[in-house]
Chains A and B, each alone.
Chain A
Amino acid sequence: MKLTGSQIFVKSLQEEEVDIIFGYPGGAVIDIYDELHKSNFRHILGRHEQGVVHAADGYARASGKVGACIVTSGPGATNTVTGIANAYMDSIPIVVFTGQVPTTLIGTDAFQEADITGITRPCTKHNFLVRRVEDLAETIKDAFNIARSGRPGPVLVDLPKDVMQAVTDYKPVSRLSSTDPAHKPDLTRLPDVLDLMSVAKRPVILLGGGVILGKASDELREFARSVRIPVTSTLMGLGAFPGTDSLWLGMLGMHGTYFANMAISKCDVLIAIGVRFDDRVTSKIDTFAPNAKVIHIDVDPASIDKNVRTDISIISDCRPALQLINNMIKGKRFAVPEGQHDDWLRQISQWRSEGPLTYCHSSDVIKPQFVVEKLYELTQGNAIIATEVGQNQMWAAQFYKFDHPNTFLSSGGLGTMGYGFPAAIGAQLAFPDKLVVDIAGDGSIQMNIQELATAVQYNLPVKIVILNNGYLGMVRQWQELFYEKRYSHTDMTFQPDFVRLAEAYNVVGLRATRPEEVEPVLRQGLSTPRTVIMDFHVSRQEGVYPMVRPGDSIAEMDLGGREMIN
């Protein structure tokens, strides 16, 4: 069958079972767009290429499938860089197609030429420049395979215009082409893991995004419950273990709970699953889990011993490793002696009552934590929550209880303001019937506010909850604590009227300025089947606590004016 590059492109997407592509057109991809039009392929037109990539990323995080997007060459391609770097840091499988000038013009500084494979080399798992139409189908197959296999990540495919116009014989690629090169499971030390667990008196499970990416939540739940080991998580792992379970300690790290950070600091065995020991989690590395033997299960060998030295490492997808462990438990080949963790669990309860996760309530001003708590109450944890970056993100992580994997979408590694809203759009497209909420700051939401038009165009009932403190709050908090309250350029002196802005985009705008208005506004907003902005004017100088000062041990927490424990 003779097909053009553009036709092969569409066929290849269908082969990969891509049902939706996010994009933004331009000259270099105009042939591809013509083919998308002819084949009636489902395409979502964003309003900025950064938003387009975040939407594909949000779609991937919520659905567990590979997200796909397409943009034009030059500025279209360079606009994707933040989105790609964001997906790279959080290991999210997306494939980004970029247009490129014709191969005959590459290297001539042609109009809208950018060396996008060069630019994105350090922030993609892999990238390709397709020079011959004969290589196209195979390259696309490889791109999807690489994106999803092993430790997932973004892959970029650069498509010169003449390659897409050229004609070749097309046959679907059947061979399972190259997968992740580093993906060689090594389960040899599994028995040692069980030996260590059977003697542990104070064990803790630390889970990370790898559990969600590896679709291992069920196995993890079974494991933790059967051996009664308390569970904490990184930001990226929220939802993998139920936030309502009695073994749940909450998030650890810089803004982790008192009891999670204490448990890590005092544990004797740390079972780390699908984590990479980011510095926001470990803080001062030599005081992190100082008394613990560390077991590390991760798919990426390069994560092992990168930051934290491990005693036993298992290189494997989280799911098969946990399945094997669970089978051994079920087959009675391993058991924790009855009551072995009782003292430890009692100690943890004591920490829990000494330093609960809480805040000072107010009847005069809206507390941002209160908004998140109410949102949780009204949704019963059944919403998909995206966040922006800053205090809003931390309050969402602390005060919303996530019971299901793939329901917390947040920029963990890169910390990209402007991520949440387009990601929520992607998630809503993956799950049209689910409630999708973006918890936002007034600063972050303005970074991709243009995507309101996308939400309206495709009738996406995404809800935006702005915790509006009129500040770049998280930076302000650092200035308060570490720079003697010199609020250098963090006071957003001018803000748009978000309700009128909503109206301009033909979405619903609601506002609450008093605590008693919070619930009615949330109720109305959540029950409106349209895109809604809810603007909550919250107490301006509220801080996120507990807080570990950068460079301190995670056992030393500032509990925010209540008291300093330890």
Chain B
Amino acid sequence: MEKKAHIFSLLVNNKPDVLARISGILGGRGYNIDSLCVNTTMSPETSKIVLTTTGDQATITKIEKQLNKLVDVLQVSDLTEDDSVQSEMALIRMKVTKENKPELLKAVETFKARILIMGPVCCIIELSGKPDEIESTLAHLKTMGIEDTVRTGTIALKK
């Protein structure tokens, strides 16, 4: 069966060990988490977790059923690309030289990124967009000398 990236959005009880339970039940059964994002919701009692994983439909169904068994998981939604809006943010530290600076500034503009700090030898830029846009922007910036990056992982909301 065809393997596909999947986005799970989980509404969970806001308790210290919830994340351990979720990663435990997936890890213990050999399912890999590609990205993970945890945050509070409008209610102090619950948190929202968005996690992405890759697998064929049978595997994804098994993961969903296992997540549903957890007492602290209140709701599991399997979001598809079409019925949700996805976004991700990345911070990127770039080398800055006399030579690459004009090109870099131009790239920042075309990709609608933001320069957070600009130093004499490096800068940090912030980028947000759909995960595949981030991917392709990073590929482009790589040619100009990326020193380090960090990404939030996908967040998604049902349309």
Interfacial residues, chain A to chain B (CB-CB below 8 A): 117-118, 121-122, 125-126, 129, 146, 178, 181-182, 300-302, 304-306
Neighbour of A181 across the interface among B20, B24, B62, B71, CB < 8 A: B71
Q: Are A182 and B24 in contact (CB under 8 A)?
A: no
Is A302 a contact of B70 with CB atoms below 8 Å?
Answer: no
B3 CB to nearest chain A CB (Å): 18
Question: Contact: A302 with B68, CB < 8 Å?
Answer: yes
Contacts A121-B24, A122-B24, A122-B28 given: A181-B69 contact, CB under 8 Å?
yes
Residues in B with CB closer than 8 Å to A301 are: 65, 68
Q: Which residues of B contact A305 (CB under 8 A)?
A: 58, 61-62
Return the chain A residue nearest B74 by Cβ.
A181
Q: Could you name 10 residue pairs across A and B whose Cβ atoms are closer than 8 Å?
A: A118-B20, A121-B21, A122-B24, A122-B28, A129-B17, A146-B71, A182-B65, A182-B68, A182-B69, A304-B65
| Cβ–Cβ < 8 Å partners of A182 in chain B | 65, 68-69
User: Nearest CB to that of B65 among chain A residues?
Assistant: A302
Cβ A117 vs Cβ B17 within 8 A: yes
A178 and chain B: residue at smallest CB distance: B71
Residues of A within 8 A of B73 (CB): 181
Task: State whether A121 and B20 are in contact (beta carbons under 8 Å apart), knowing that A126-B71, A305-B58, A305-B61 are contacts in the complex.
Answer: yes
Q: Which A residues lie within 8 Å of B68 (CB)?
A: 181-182, 301-302
Q: How far is the CB of A16 from chain B (nearest CB, A)?
A: 18
Assembly CA distance A178 to B73 (angstroms):
12
On whether the beta carbons of A302 and B58 are closer than 8 Å, the reply is no
Task: Fill in one digit per residue for B1-35: 1 if any A CB lies within 8 Å of its CB, else 0.
Answer: 00000000000000001001100110010000000
Query: In the complex, A129→B17 CA distance in Å?
Result: 10
Closest CB of chain B to A115's CB: distance in Å? Answer: 10
The smallest C-beta distance from B39 to any residue of chain A, in angstroms, reads 22
The CA-CA distance from A122 to B30 in the complex, in Å, is: 13
- Closest Cβ of chain B to A290, distance in Å, is 19
Docked Cα-Cα span, A182 to B64, in Å, equals 11
Which residues of B are found within 8 Å of A146, using beta-carbon distances?
A: 71
Residues on B with beta carbons closer than 8 Å to the beta carbon of A121:
17, 20-21, 24
Cα distance A345–B51 when bound, in Å?
Answer: 52
By a CB distance below 8 angstroms, the chain B residues around A181 are 68-71, 73-74
Question: Is B62's CB under 8 angstroms from A306's CB?
Answer: yes
Q: CB-CB < 8 A to A126: which residues of B?
A: 70-72
Answer whether residue B66 sits at the interface, using C-beta atoms and an 8 A cutoff: yes
Please report the C-alpha to C-alpha distance between residue A62 and residue B68 in the assembled complex, in whole angstroms: 30
Q: Which residues of the other chain, A, contact B71 by a CB distance below 8 angstroms?
A: 125-126, 146, 178, 181
CA distance A300 to B72 in the complex (A): 17
* Shortest Cβ-Cβ A-B pairs, 5 listed: A302-B65, A126-B71, A182-B69, A182-B68, A301-B65
Contacts of B20 in A (CB 8 A): 118, 121
Q: In the complex, what's the smallest C-beta–C-beta distance from B67 to chain A, in angstroms?
A: 10
B62 to chain A, nearest CB (A): 6
Residues of A within 8 A of B66 (CB): 302
Residues on B with beta carbons closer than 8 Å to the beta carbon of A304: 65
The CA of A181 and the CA of B72, in the complex, are separated in Å by 9
In chain B, what residue has the closest Cβ to A150?
A: B69
Q: Which residues of A contact B58 (CB under 8 A)?
A: 305
Nearest B-chain residue to A306, judged by Cβ: B62
Closest to A151 in B: B69
| New contact pairs (10) apart from A117-B17, A182-B65, CB-CB < 8 Å | A118-B17, A121-B17, A121-B24, A125-B71, A126-B71, A126-B72, A178-B71, A181-B69, A300-B69, A301-B68
The answer for the CA separation of A171 and B114 in the assembled complex, in Å, is 57
Q: How far is the CA of A292 from the CA of B20 in the complex (A)?
A: 40
Q: Mark B49-79, 1 if CB is under 8 A from A, else 0.
A: 0000000001001100110111111100000
- Beta-carbon contacts under 8 Å, B108-153 to A: none
B residues less than 8 Å from A178 (CB atoms): 71
Closest to A184 in B: B68
Distance in angstroms between the alpha carbons of A267 and B27 in the assembled complex: 37
A182–B20 alpha-carbon span in the complex (Å): 19
Residue of A nearest to B13 (CB): A178
Shortest CB distance A201–B (Å): 30
With A and B bound together, what is the CA distance between A118 and B73 in angstroms? 17
Q: Are A302 and B62 CB-contacts (below 8 A) given A181-B69, A181-B71?
A: yes
Q: How far is the CA of A306 from the CA of B28 in the complex (A)?
A: 15
State the CA gap A121–B27 with chains docked (Å).
12
Bound CA–CA A417/B74 (angstroms) = 37
Residue of A nearest to B70 (CB): A181
A306 to B62, alpha carbons, bound, how many Å? 7
Q: Which residue of chain B has the shortest Cβ distance to A302 in the bound complex?
A: B65
CA A121 to CA B21, docked complex, whole Å: 7
CA distance A302 to B17 in the complex (A): 22
Bound-complex Cα distance A182 to B73 (A): 10
> CA–CA, A301 to B65, complex, Å?
7
Q: A118 vs B24: C-alpha distance in the bound complex, in angstroms? A: 10
Chain B neighbourhood of A306, CB < 8 A: 62
- Of chain A, the residue at the smallest CB distance from B73 is A181
Smallest CB separation, A303 vs chain B (Å)? 9
CB distance from A107 to the nearest CB of B (A): 11
**A126 CA to B68 CA, complexed, in Å:** 13
CA distance A410 to B73 in the complex (A): 32
Instruction: For the complex, give the distance between the alpha carbons of A305 and B20 in Å.
Output: 26
| Minimum distance in angstroms from B101 CB to a CB of chain A | 49
Minimum Cβ distance to chain A for residue B45 (Å)? 13
Report A-chain residues with C-beta under 8 Å of the C-beta of B70: 126, 181
How near does chain A come to B140, taking the closest CB pair, in angstroms? Answer: 43
Shortest C-beta distance, B148 to chain A (Å), equals 32
Question: B21 contacts which chain A residues (CB < 8 A)?
Answer: 121
**Residue of B at shortest CB range from A123?**
B28
Most buried by A among B21, B25, B58, B65: B65
**Nearest CB in chain A: distance from B61 CB, A:** 7
How far does the alpha carbon of A507 sit from the alpha carbon of B72 in the complex, in Å?
48
A118 to B66, CA, bound (A): 18
Q: Whole-angstrom distance between the alpha carbons of A92 and B134 in the complex?
A: 48
